[in-house]
Amino acid sequence: MPHRTNPARPGALLLATALLATGLSGCSALSPFNTCDDTATRVKALRAQPILESVPEGATVPEDLAPVPGCLDDSGDAWLYAERVYAFPGPRQKVVDFYRATAEADGWRLQSDPSDPSTPETTAGLCFTKGGDGDALLLTVQFTTARRLKIEHGYRAGPEFDSGSGFEIEVGSETDGARTGCFD
């Protein structure tokens, strides 16, 4: 009489071995972090935030520097963002005053860095929050230079940066809209 084998037994053994090897190697098919999968709709909503188009008088979009939307998931939870860069010929204080008024009028709440309250906003930039758990947003306004644009964006700034500096404005969020703070 031929020896019978259970056809499911070799498959089960193979599956158990694969799962054990995966677990021991520290890799997992299930990431504990949120990823960029299926975030296009949320990124599109970030791009449509009106504050990104609100700029102080005299601010211009540098030539050949397009708005940058996207999702980063290279270290931990994914971060969604929509960013714009503007050249501005005036003093930084005008940018600070403009965004303090404009953002706050649109429901954004200014956050201060508790670890460094003495750094002026014309150096540190601004950070605001808006919304609650599920629809939370973060808004940052940071000052930039031609050199920094070259390093961060590979962009060679033109003459529009000769008479002042520039600033970057970004609206960002967690993939699920979880509440986040400026200095967490």
Distance between CA atoms of residues 79 and 72, nearest Å: 5
Rounded to two decimals, the pTM is 0.77
Q: Taking the CA atoms of 116, 174, 99 and 130 in sequence, report the sign of the dihedral they define.
A: negative
For 108, counting Cβ atoms within 10 Å of its Cβ (0-12 exposed, 13-18 middle, 19+ buried), the class is: buried
Whether the Cβ atoms of residue 98 and residue 71 lie closer than 8 Å to each other: no
Q: What does the alpha-carbon distance between residue 58 and residue 60 come to, in Å, rounded to a whole number?
A: 6
pLDDT in the model for residue 117:
81
- Classified as helix, coil or strand, 82 is strand
| 167 three-state secondary structure | strand
Q: What is the pLDDT, as a whole number, of residue 82?
A: 95
pLDDT at res. 161 = 74
Report the pLDDT value the prediction gives residue 14, as an integer from 0 to 100.
46
Structure token digits, residue 98: 């403009």
**Residue 113, pLDDT score:** 82
Cα gap 91→94, rounded to integer Å: 6
- What is the rounded distance in angstroms from the CA atom of residue 9 to the CA atom of residue 15? 10
Q: Looking at residue 1, what is its pLDDT?
A: 52
What is the predicted pLDDT for the residue at 33?
Answer: 56
Predicted local confidence at residue 30, as pLDDT: 45
Q: Which residue's entry shows tokens 């397009």? A: 66
Average pLDDT per consecutive 10 residues, the chain (184 residues; last block may be shorter)? 52 47 44 76 94 94 85 85 92 95 96 84 91 92 87 80 82 92 84
CA atoms within 13 A on the CB side of 150: 7
